[in-house]
Structures are given as structure tokens and as C-alpha cells.
Amino acid sequence: MGIKGRIGRTALALGVVTAGVPAEATWMRATSTHFVVYSDSNAEKLRAETAELERFDLLMSAFSQRFLTDVTDAARNPDRAFNKVTVYVLPSIASVQQFARMKDVAGFYVPRVTGSIAFTPRQSDSVGENALSPRIVLFHEYTHHFLLGNSTLALPAWFSEGFAEFASTTAKRDDKYWIGVPAQHRAYGLLEMDKQLTMGQLFAPPASMTSEQTEAIYGRGWLLTHMVMFDPVLRSQLGKYLTLLNSGTKSAAAAQQSFGDLKALDKRADAYLKQSRVSALPVSASILPQPVVDVRALTEGEAALIRMRMESTRGVDGRTAKPLWAKAKEAGARYPADPVAQGWLAEMAYDAGDLEAAEAAADHAVAADPTSSQGLLYKARVHLARLVAAKSHDEAAWKEARSWIIKANRAQNNDAAALALFYQSFQMQDAKPNKGAVAGLYRAVELVPQDMDIRFQAAQQRLLDDDVPGAKALLRPLAYNPHADSDNPAARILAALDAGKGGRAALEAAKEKSSELTKDGPKSGGKDGS
């Protein structure tokens, strides 16, 4: 079955308006199985929007099980409930760009062990059939989170972005959801820039592309993905291509071996685009369970700090951390008994290097809520930072600092941030991690597989444990990450392992820090946050 829909020729235009978060807005917080959403929407509207996100997650789980052979059964994975995405809904695309610190984005997603986040606009800066709607933006970003968390293989740029585009247009018509609706918002890239990126060029590394070709990845990636999803033969060829790619074959060579003549594929794609009808998969809305969504207004303390919290969790540096903390400590001083607000303050003070204030805020958070993960972990971070600065060899002091992490873990057994920090505390001490710390690191990766830095740490530990197969499984998505250099540390380690080197010797192939693994900012992780 299909929905009538031909890609129109109206160019997509993204205007820029004055950015900002209205100071007078009444902010609400919605919580569901896989999401925490902050918005200044009214309660019922926010509840409905969050429920739609949960339904989208259900649709992606069902669709991927049917059409993608390399994706795990997300619906049966209980760990996903401990890896919620926190979504911040901003007034406009310009507001999102302000937080992204980039001009050419309409929304962005940051995966990390301390809590993945996404920023999305409430309304588009454009109107009409080809407008980039907020729903499309958010669905696109969440699809990245879904694939990173459930795919067992590394995905190339064209498919990572193409499938996100494919899923993002999921729409409800009457009593059905339709997956694979035409990507009208990519009309300009598909029809006016169609010669910028042939199918053969689509399989090249993004680093070798021009800016115009990089932009065209979204549209051409959607086109090829759409073709593949509704053609069993092409889906089989995709499976072969991904297997070859994850075995070390270069993308272009893997594509030729899998899809055959790429010029013929290009002609087929052009003909596919010109069809008057394209396929879409219908799913009856009645078979989807009603999501449970809790909505509440922010406390006075949370409301006073929400703008600063968004700046903090997006990420700060040496230039921005102190000015942000100066604003936050004044705004939050009136709410010493608010555990969430005090947890946010502890993080901002810590980032600014004010350890005394960070510990005081953490103490306030824990006093108000003994299970406050943020309070307990920032108490630990402060103590660890002092020990590192003092170059301490006092084993009792290190044990005391770790006791706060243990308390956080006992309060929330599946808090990946606590598990990761416990392991990292041994690195800070320059000590060998104990078995519990290593097990905790591996568990953190299971809980938040999207965090590339934690994945890289776990791969290194696997090599130290002489678990080469386990290390390779962790390294492949990093080595073939479309946003990383082709000669990234993970790729060098894999090459060394394939050349017959042992685990420890292979580690010498990657001297640079794991932060080199990604290059594109918003999707590459960032500072701690929760």
C-alpha cells in the first residue's frame, strides 16, 4: 500500500528569528518510559506530545525487527528504560542553533553516559508543504539514538542519516501511522542538488565530500534508504554491504560488491524519485498501547534555573563555565531545599572550578533527597578532584571518595554514570581497577551503548583482559563511525588486531585521546550532565 506523495519542487528555506527562551514561560516536565521532556507547553499538550514520542519508539521497534536484520529486539530490552533521552523544547530553530553553536542545524542530539539530550524547536521557521516541522526534527534525532542503542553494526553516514530521514516523516492519518512518507522537506536537496552526489559518491567517506555533497547526504541517503526498505532484494544487498563494511572493506568497494553497478543504481534511484507514488508502511494506531506519561510543573527552583540548566547540560568550557555559574548561584540561592535545583547547581559550580560551592550544593541536594544521583555523584567528583590535585596516595581517602559513588549506585543500580565514574576513579588514582569496577564499566556500555567515549574505554579494558572478540565488537562502530576520521584510534587498533598483534600491543596504535573519535560537535557527546 502507499500514500500518494510526490516530492515537490519548492525549495526549503530556513529563516532565522530572534532566539531565546521566554522568561515568563511556565515550564513543565513530562516523564515516560524512554523520555523526559521539558517544555513551556500546557500540561495536556505536553502529555500528548510525549505519548507520541513513545508511540514512535514502539513503531521503530516493530519496524526495525521486521526490516533490519542487524538491530536487536528493542521492545524486549528492559535496559532501555534506564537510558531515557531528555528533550528540551525551544521556541524556534534559531533558539536551537543558539544552543548548538552552529547555524545549519534545526535540532541536535548528544549521546552520553550521564544522560543523552536532544534540543528541538516548538515551531518551524518555514511554512508550506516542504516545511521542516518540529516533529520531523525530533523524530530524526531520536532515530539516531534508537539506532546507536540497538544496531549491532557500524552504520555509514548515508544510511545513518538516510534512515533517520526515512523514519522522521512517520505520520498519523486517520486511524493509521504511516512509515516512509515522502521527505518533502528534502525537496531542494533531492531535485535541485541531485547531481551534486551520485550513488557512487554517496558511499565515499564524508570527510572527502564538498559542503554541498555533505548536505546532499540527507536527501540522497533518504532516497536510497527508501528504495532499500521496500525492496527485499535491495535489503539483502544492504545486509551484505554492512557486513563487508564492518569486516574492514572500504565503503565504495563494499557497495560495488553488494549492489553491483553503482551507475545503474544511480539511474534506478533517479527513476524512483520521479514516481507519482511511493510506498509507505501502514500500522494501525489501535494496536499500539496507551503510553503512561506523568506531567508536572517545574518547582520554583527548577523554573528559576531551567535556562541555565540547558546551557550547562549542553556543555560549557573554560570561557563559559564561570559566567554561567555566576548567574546560576544568584538565581538558585533561594532554593536550598530543592534537590533537583541543587543538583544542577552542584554541576555548574563544579564545571566552573568552584569545588567548595559544588560540594555545598551537593550536600543540599542529598539532604533534601538522599537518593539524589546528581548530588551523590558530584560529592564524589569534588572529593576525587581534590585527591587528584593533591596527587594523593592515601588509600583511605580514595575509598571515602568512592563511597559516594557506591551510595549513588545503591540508590539507582542501573545508573550508568555512577558505574562509569567508579571505574574512572581508579584511572584518576593511577591504580588498577578492581573486578567490580571493570564489571561496572561493561554494564555502563550495556546501559548506554550510544556513548562513544565509554565504549572506547570498555574496548581498551577488553584488550587488557585479552578479550579480543569483545573488544572488536565495541570498536567497530567507532572505527567506521561516519563522523570520525578514517584513521581514528579505534580503526588503528582494529587494523593492528587484524595484523595479528595482541591486545596490549594493539593499544599502542592509538595514542590520541578518545575525544578524536568524533568530529561533528552535537552528535559527538560532550560534558557531563543528567
pLDDT at 530: 36
Q: Does 2.60.40 match the CATH number of domain 2-6+25-287?
A: no
DSSP single-letter state for residue 190: I
- Which whole-number Å values give the CA distances from 354 to 250, 360, 361, in the listed order? 48, 10, 11
CA–CA separation, 423 and 356 (whole Å): 24
CA–CA separation, 161 and 151 (whole Å): 14
- Choose the most confident range, by mean pLDDT, from 139-143, 211-215, 441-445, 525-529: 441-445
- Quick one: CA torsion of 242, 246, 252, 257, rounded to 10 degrees? -60
pLDDT at 35: 96
Question: In terms of pLDDT, which residue wins out, 207 or 514?
Answer: 207
DSSP single-letter state for residue 15: -
- Model confidence over 307-336: pLDDT tens digits? 999 999 999 999 999 999 999 999 999 999
- Choose the most confident range, by mean pLDDT, from 19-28, 48-57, 90-99, 136-145: 48-57
Q: Find the mean pLDDT for residues 477-485.
A: 74
pLDDT band for position 139 (cuts 50, 70, 90): very high
Burial level of 504, CB count in 10 A (0-12/13-18/19+)? exposed
CA–CA separation, 154 and 240 (whole Å): 13
pLDDT at 257: 97
Compute how many other C-beta atoms are within 10 angstroms of the C-beta atom of residue 82: 15
With a pLDDT cut of 70, the percent of the chain lying above it is 86
Q: Find the mean pLDDT for residues 119-137.
A: 75
pTM (two decimals): 0.86
CA–CA separation, 156 and 241 (whole Å): 10
Distance from CA of residue 494 to its chain's centroid? Answer: 24
Q: Which residues contact 24 (CB under 8 A, 6 or more apart)?
A: none
pLDDT at 277: 85
CA–CA separation, 302 and 113 (whole Å): 23
With a pLDDT cut of 90, the percent of the chain lying above it is 60
CA–CA separation, 426 and 423 (whole Å): 6
Mean pLDDT taken over the chain: 86
pLDDT at 194: 57
- Give the chain's length: 530
Query: Is the pLDDT assigned to residue 520 strictly greater than 60?
Result: no
pLDDT band for position 7 (cuts 50, 70, 90): very low
- Model confidence over 64-117: pLDDT tens digits? 888 876 666 666 778 888 899 999 999 988 899 999 888 878 888 999 999 999
CA–CA separation, 56 and 62 (whole Å): 10
pLDDT band for position 518 (cuts 50, 70, 90): very low
Burial level of 315, CB count in 10 A (0-12/13-18/19+)? buried
CA–CA separation, 16 and 205 (whole Å): 31
Burial level of 95, CB count in 10 A (0-12/13-18/19+)? buried
CA–CA separation, 28 and 43 (whole Å): 7
Longest pairwise C-alpha distance within the chain: 73
Q: Pull the grid cell for residue 246.
A: 564492518
pLDDT at 15: 26
Q: Determine if residue 291 is left, alpha or beta; phi over 0 gives left, psi from -120 to 50 gives alpha, anything else beta.
A: beta
- Model confidence over 174-202: pLDDT tens digits? 899 999 998 887 876 676 665 678 888 88
Of the candidate ranges 278-292, 353-367, 380-394, 424-438, the one whose mean pLDDT is the lowest: 278-292
pLDDT band for position 25 (cuts 50, 70, 90): low
Rg, the chain, Cα only? 23
pLDDT at 170: 95
Query: Is the pLDDT assigned to residue 27 strictly greater than 50?
Result: yes
- Which whole-number Å values give the CA distances from 248 to 325, 348, 374, 477, 498, in the listed order? 46, 42, 40, 11, 9
The CA-based angle 140-145-150, given to 5 degrees, is: 125
pLDDT at 146: 92
Query: What are the residue boundaries of the structural domains of the chain, listed by start?
Result: 2-6+25-287, 449-530
- Model confidence over 140-154: pLDDT tens digits? 989 999 988 888 788
- Model confidence over 205-243: pLDDT tens digits? 776 777 777 778 888 999 999 999 999 999 999 999 999
Distance from CA of residue 167 to its chain's centroid? Answer: 16
Query: Is the pLDDT assigned to residue 287 strictly greater than 70?
Result: yes
Helix (H, G, I), strand (E, B) or coil at 71: strand
pLDDT at 501: 87
